[in-house]
Amino acid sequence: MANAEAKLLLVMTEGLERLWLGPCLHRLSTFELERVYA
């Protein structure tokens, strides 16, 4: 039971990260790559 709950929580967390942190992390990683390889 706890295993299923943990998996559900993980899926929800990944969904939230994709919705909220995704664009921010993408922008940050792109900025870092441009700075490193400039």
Check whether 1 has a pLDDT greater than 80.
no
**Per-residue 3-state assignment (H helix, E strand, C coil) for the chain:** CHHHHHHHHHHHHHHHHHHHHHHHHHHHHHHHHHHHHC
CA-CA distance, 19 to 33, in Å (whole number)?
22
Structure-block tokens of residue 31: 């900025």
Q: Which is more confidently placed, 13 or 18? A: 13
What local confidence, expressed as pLDDT, does residue 13 receive? 85
Does pTM surpass 0.85? no
List the domain range (segments joined by +) for residue 10.
1-38
What local confidence, expressed as pLDDT, does residue 7 receive? 93
Check whether 24 has a pLDDT greater than 80.
no
Domain count, the chain: 1
Structure-block tokens of residue 8: 């559900």
